[in-house]
Structures are given as structure tokens and as C-alpha cells.
């Protein structure tokens, strides 16, 4: 038996008047997921424990069967595992986003507003140039800066201390003053990054091209080195992780799963969906792995952008360019398999950030008769009457133990 999780990050949402009171999942044309729904168990699951922040970090730990209340130590330390940053016991790592702030010359840094948490999804090449500038002109002693992917990077504070900091995607359009770090060194580096980046040639070129500049560093997601039980020892399944996002790769590295790198997978709307699907099929059918986790960031990014059209398109791409390919290949192989499709958390268009609401899941088993729902979305999940309160138990249902 083979096992597959396909996760559309932030795919769930809330009804929108502009599309007739439907959610983006309902509005999207998803013939593949709707076909599977007729032979699947549909239900709701809460992936974020009560009282914890609804992040992709806590939620994806739950999806993989790790109780976040036990194993979560912060987002950035998980990303550090992916990048290969060795953390000592007393080190603290931070996510370093390259963000877009307003550039009102009449206002100090503290009174600027945050425009975009991703700087128009800046490419990794341009981001790397800007990070080198930060290393040379901004970084203070005791800190190290590491390149990640796109706008997502990492700051390591040797013998540092943890603190609560605000994710930039939670405060889009807000004035930043009340969300800045209280630590004077972190604040000084953020202010200095704005000074040196806003006039950098990379950003001047981006503005000339109609793109948003990556004009400030933003630190958040602090935490210490995590310790996750080995996934294969825990479940008895050899697993692979397929994702463009360092957070997911970090969870995989920390739990002993193989990380599969797919060329052209970048976490954006036009990521390499087909390449991810084909990589999963190869791992399962040719390389002998028992379990594949395929993570797609695009619906979440489009939710943060507040774009109804793009989020719908991301869900449709997931359906036709990834799920369909996986399903057809697995069916053609004759190999028995079970497939779980779900988001980790909602990213509603109106909120432009994550919420902790339960999400719909679809659990497909080819042996199941056609007595499921007519479609897969939030509405049919609610109608099912099924609800798993502790999301980290759902994977046990997938593996049937």
C-alpha cells in the first residue's frame, strides 16, 4: 500500500459576495477533486491546537502527526534545518523576510506601512544580491544571515534570546511602529536595512519594471533548535517531502524524511506542479518509498495577496496539473494506495492571513464505493458531520493504524 498527502497550503477560505457567496474552493473548477470526492471520506479537521498561532509551521507538523504543543519550538528553527544551518543549544534563529514598505520620505521608518510580505515574490537570485549587501553593511556582531528561497531567509543569533515577533503577512497595509522588535539590535538592523536597500540598483530596476522593491528586512518566527522523532520509526513508513518551502523541507530534515528537489518549484502561482507530481510518482513506484507528502504553497500566497482570481487559479492548477497526474499514474500502476487531500489552515481573501478554523479533508481509497459527496469543499465537509479535533491524529487514519 502506498500513501500520499497532497497539501494545498491555505486553500480553504470563507464565502465571498463577489463570487456569489461561495468560497474560492467552491468557485474553482476542480473536476479531479470532485471526482475523488464521490469515492472518499470528507470531513473537517483542526490542525492548529487551541491557543496556538495558525501558522503553516504548527499546522504542517499536525498534518505529519506531530503534536505542535509537544514539538513546536518556532518556525525559523525548522527552516534552519532545511538550509543546513547548525544550531547550538543557546542559538536563536529568526525568519528574515525581504518585505516591501512604503517609501514616504516625510516619515521615519517606524511610521512606514507594510505593503507586501514577499516583495512581489522576489526571485532568489535578486534576493541573494540584497542579502550580501545586508551582510556587509547591516549585520551586527553575533548574528549570521543565510539565504533561503525567494523572500524567505534566516537570521541566526548566537547565544541569543527568544521573543514574540509579528509575521509580516498578518499586518499588511498597517503602520509598522507597534509591531517592531523591542530588542535594540534587531530594530537597528531593520532600520538600517531600509536605508541601504531602498536605493539599491536591484530595487531601482524592480520599480522600473513595475515590481515592488524588497526594501526592508523583517525578523519574526524566533525559536531554538527543534527535536522531532524520526518519521519512519514513528510510523513504519519511508517518506519523501516535495515542497519549494524551506519550512516543509526543515520538518522533513528534522524527521528523517527524504527531501526531493524539483526544478522550477518556487512556491509561486506558476510553480512546477507537473514536476512535483512526477517526482512523487517516481518515489512511490520506482524508488520504493511508502509515503509522499506533496506541498503546494501557491493558494496561500494568493490568499495573502488578496487576489480572488489568482487563488482560484492556484486551486485549479493544483487539481489539474498535480492531483490528476498523481491519480492517473497510481491508477495505471495497479498499486493500491490511499490519498489525503487538504489545506493546513484557511487563508481567507478578506483577512489576507491565516485563521485557526477547521479545514476540509478528502480521504480517498480506490476500494471505497461511490457513496461520498458531490464535491470537495468547506460546505460538503461541514455537511458530513465528521470532525477530528486533534489534527495530528488524522495521519493515523490515512495509515489505518
| pLDDT tens, position by position, 233-263 | 999 999 999 999 999 999 999 999 999 999 9
With a cut of 80, say whether residue 371 has pLDDT above it: no
Query: Of 51, 45, 44, which is closest to residue 72 (Cα–Cα)?
Result: 51
Check residue 257 and report its DSSP letter.
Answer: P
Q: Which residue has the cell 463570487?
A: 19
With a cut of 90, say whether residue 372 has pLDDT above it: no
Question: 3-class DSSP state for residue 242?
Answer: strand
Average pLDDT over every residue of 279-283: 98
Give 262's contacts (C-beta < 8 A, 6+ positions apart): 242, 244, 272, 275, 276, 279
Crossing angle (nearest 10°) for helices 201-208 and 124-137: 150
With a cut of 80, say whether residue 368 has pLDDT above it: no
Check residue 140 and report its DSSP letter.
Answer: P
The mean predicted confidence, pLDDT, of the chain is: 96
Q: How far apart are CA 23 and CA 13, in angstroms?
A: 6
Neighbour count for residue 197 (Cβ, 10 Å)? 23
| All three cell numbers of 355 | 485563521
Q: What is the pLDDT of residues 285-322, one digit of tens each?
A: 999 999 999 999 999 999 999 999 999 999 999 999 99
| All three cell numbers of 25 | 474552493
Average pLDDT over every residue of 84-103: 95
Query: Of 214, 244, 254, which is closest to residue 75 (Cα–Cα)?
Result: 254
In 224-312, the DSSP E strands lie at 239-242, 258-260, 291-296
Q: How far apart are CA 371 and CA 373, in angstroms?
A: 7
pTM, rounded to two decimals: 0.84
With a cut of 90, say whether residue 370 has pLDDT above it: no
Q: How far apart are CA 46 and CA 40, in angstroms?
A: 19
pLDDT grade, residue 14 (50/70/90)?
A: very high
Q: Which residue has the cell 525567494?
A: 150
Give 45's contacts (C-beta < 8 A, 6+ positions apart): 342, 358, 359, 361, 387, 388, 391, 394
According to the model, what pLDDT value does residue 401 have?
52
Q: What is the pLDDT of residues 51-93, one digit of tens each?
A: 999 999 999 999 999 999 999 988 899 999 888 898 998 999 9
According to the model, what pLDDT value does residue 400 have?
87
Which H or E element spans position 208? Answer: helix 201-208
Average pLDDT over every residue of 150-178: 95
pLDDT grade, residue 367 (50/70/90)?
A: confident
Check residue 107 and report its DSSP letter.
Answer: S
**Buried b vs exposed e over 297-317: b needs ≥16 C-beta within 10 Å?**
bbbbbbbbbbbbebbbbbbbb
Amino acid at each position: 500500500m502506498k500513501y500520499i498527502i497532497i497539501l494545498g497550503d491555505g486553500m480553504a477560505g470563507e464565502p465571498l459576495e463577489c463570487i456569489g457567496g461561495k468560497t474560492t474552493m467552491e468557485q474553482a473548477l476542480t473536476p479531479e477533486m470532485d471526482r475523488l470526492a464521490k469515492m472518499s471520506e470528507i470531513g473537517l479537521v483542526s490542525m492548529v491546537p487551541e491557543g496556538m498561532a495558525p501558522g503553516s509551521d504548527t499546522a504542517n507538523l499536525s498534518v505529519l502527526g506531530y503534536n505542535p504543543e509537544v514539538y513546536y519550538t518556532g518556525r525559523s528553527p525548522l527552516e534552519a534545518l532545511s538550509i543546513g544551518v547548525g544550531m547550538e543549544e543557546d542559538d536563536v534563529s529568526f525568519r528574515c523576510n525581504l518585505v516591501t514598505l512604503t517609501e514616504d520620505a516625510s516619515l521615519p521608518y517606524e511610521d512606514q506601512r507594510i505593503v507586501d510580505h514577499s516583495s512581489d515574490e522576489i526571485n532568489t537570485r535578486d534576493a541573494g544580491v540584497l542579502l550580501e549587501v545586508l551582510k556587509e553593511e547591516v549585520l551586527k556582531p553575533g548574528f549570521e544571515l543565510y539565504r533561503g528561497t525567494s523572500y524567505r531567509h534566516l537570521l541566526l543569533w548566537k547565544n541569543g534570546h527568544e521573543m514574540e515577533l509579528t509575521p509580516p503577512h498578518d499586518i499588511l497595509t498597517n503602520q509598522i511602529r507597534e509591531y517592531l522588535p523591542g530588542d535594540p539590535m534587531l530594530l537597528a538592523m531593520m532600520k538600517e536595512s531600509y536605508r541601504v536597500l531602498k536605493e539599491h540598483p536591484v530595487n531601482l530596476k524592480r520599480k522600473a519594471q513595475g515590481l515592488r522593491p524588497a526594501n526592508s528586512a523583517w525578523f519574526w518566527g524566533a525559536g531554538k533548535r527543534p527535536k522531532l522523532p524520526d518519521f519512519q520509526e514513528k510510523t513504519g513508513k519511508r517518506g519523501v517531502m516535495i515542497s519549494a518551502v524551506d519550512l516543509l523541507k526543515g520538518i522533513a530534515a528534522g524527521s528523517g524524511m527524504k527531501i526531493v528537489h524539483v526544478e522550477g518549484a518556487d512556491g509561486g502561482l506558476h510553480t512546477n506542479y507537473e514536476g512535483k507530481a512526477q517526482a512523487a510518482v517516481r518515489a512511490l513506484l520506482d524508488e520504493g518509498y511508502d509515503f509522499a507528502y506533496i506541498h503546494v504553497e501557491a493558494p496561500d500566497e494568493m490568499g495573502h495577496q488578496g487576489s480572488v482570481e489568482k487563488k482560484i487559479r492556484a486551486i485549479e492548477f493544483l487539481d489539474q496539473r498535480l492531483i490528476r497526474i498523481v491519480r492517473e499514474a497510481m491508477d495505471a500502476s495497479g498499486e493500491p494506495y490511499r490519498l489525503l487531500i487538504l489545506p493546513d489552515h484557511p487563508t481567507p481573501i478578506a483577512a489576507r492571513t491565516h485563521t485557526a478554523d477547521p479545514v476540509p479533508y478528502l480521504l480517498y481509497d480506490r476500494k471505497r464505493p461511490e457513496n461520498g459527496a458531490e464535491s470537495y469543499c468547506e460546505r460538503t465537509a461541514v455537511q458530513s458531520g465528521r470532525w477530528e479535533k486533534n489534527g495530528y491524529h488524522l495521519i493515523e487514519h490515512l495509515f489505518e493504524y
